[in-house]
Amino acid sequence: MSLDAPAASRPVPREAGAAGLGAELPHAWVHKTARIRSKAEFRFRACRSIVKDCVGPHGHRRAGAEQEEAMKKLWMCLAAAGGLAMLASSGFAADKTLALVVKGLDNPYFDLMHQGCERANKELNKQGYNCYYTGPATAADESAQVQIIDDLLTKGVASMAISPANAPAVAEVLRRRGGSVPVITADADLLPKDASLRKSYVGTDNYELGAKLGEQLKMLMPKGGNVCLVMGNPAAENINQRAQGARDVLSGKKGITKLAGENGWHEISGCPLYVNDDAAKANQMMQDTLTAHPTGLDAFLLAGGWPLFAPQAFSQVVAPIMDKIKNGKFVIVSADTLGPELQALKEHKVNVLVGQRPEEMGYRAAMVMRDLAEGKSVPPVIHTGLDVCTWKNADTCLKH
């Protein structure tokens, strides 16, 4: 397998369905483009180190899950590097590009936002616009997302939608760059104090999502219990809002930072678990928590569906408590309703899912970016709705 970095003079292939490609860059952008191209070449070289994980001794391919995971990492790395290479190409039409920057290309949730972006392109391409989907190779790489945003602002785009992995860090780069590009947030928002840095938020009412998770948990365990919240990273504002919504509903009070007996609910020591959007880490931390609290834990509240994205590992985690889950003695409620999560619900490995609509987010974000690029006003908040899926309605809850 060869991974040569693109030469400075080598054109980047035209993207399928992209509009406006082939335009020449203004001369003043040459130095900006060279800097971004250099970063792209560096990332292509970095991807080479992953190749060795795709093969075993003597160059033979690894087998099974190890091979699948290594190949996934490789393609995510190449996708991130290729995105920078496109920015550096002379065919990048900045005045018609609507950039959607997600937390990480490794999260299947964002694949659905990508689908929404592509659905929008069926309309936008006819108007000369292109929804350009990008992000770091992994959601855990917060600094890489900030760098991609900075690079896009350097190159110039018509508008940008961001799902901030680290809300304060994203706000800092937007503040430093001084509003040269109209920006919205999608899926995740900035902190309230930084809301003026974006024109609109498109996505879930995350506080309401958390509140619904809390309501469902409360219905299943009306007398309360010991719970552990599973979260992404401490700086993800959307996840923090979900946690607050859940705590407020369970406690019956506003602004509770940790459940400590309110309405019979306690958060156990060592929780919440911050899993950095990593499925393997999420399952390991949940397993460790169950081991450390064999009788003192009654529920997991997952503010995101990360552990369910690794079905085999999650099945191993819940295997010892399956009878308790089916008998209502242990409860797991989770955000999101992607394929692996719905399958876990149908197999009664989780009790309730509260789902977002990421495909709709991607589509709506693209159309709002188009409106901003054309100087139109947009609503400050656009919520895209929620779906509640239980054992009883698992086959029909997403039909709307």
Q: What is the pLDDT along the chain (400 residues), one digit of tens a residue?
A: 333 333 333 333 333 333 333 333 444 444 444 454 544 544 544 455 444 444 454 455 545 544 455 555 555 555 554 555 555 554 557 789 999 999 999 999 999 999 999 999 999 999 999 999 999 999 889 999 999 999 999 999 999 999 999 999 999 999 999 888 999 999 999 999 999 999 999 999 999 999 999 999 999 999 999 999 999 999 999 999 999 999 999 999 999 999 999 999 999 999 999 999 999 999 999 999 999 999 999 999 999 999 999 999 999 999 999 999 999 999 999 999 999 999 999 999 999 999 999 999 999 999 999 999 999 999 999 999 999 999 999 999 998 6
Q: Reduce the DSSP state of residue 317 to 3 states and report it.
A: helix
Identify the DSSP state of 380.
S
Q: Do residues 242 and 271 lie in contact, with contact meaning Cβ atoms separated by under 8 Å?
A: no
Domain boundaries, the chain: 28-89, 93-204+357-384, 206-355
Q: What is the pLDDT of residue 87?
A: 55
Query: What is the spatial order of strands in the sheet that 183-186 belongs to?
Result: 130-134, 97-101, 159-162, 183-186, 201-203, 381-383
Taking alpha carbons only, the member of 213, 231, 198 closest to residue 372 is 198
- Say if pTM beats, i.e. exceeds, 0.75: yes
159 phi and psi angles, rounded to 5 deg: -165, 165
CATH number for the 93-204+357-384 domain, one of 1.10.10.10, 3.40.50.2300, 3.30.1300.10, 1.10.30.50?
Answer: 3.40.50.2300
> Going by DSSP bridges, is the β-strand pair 183-186/273-274 parallel, antiparallel, or unpaired?
unpaired
Q: What is the pLDDT of residue 400?
A: 65
Domain 206-355 -> CATH class: alpha beta
Residues 123, 281: Cα–Cα separation, whole Å? 40
CATH topology match: 93-204+357-384 vs 206-355: yes
Q: What is the pLDDT of residue 84?
A: 52
Residue 252 CB partners (closer than 8 Å, separation 6+): 262, 263
Q: What is the pLDDT of residue 139?
A: 87
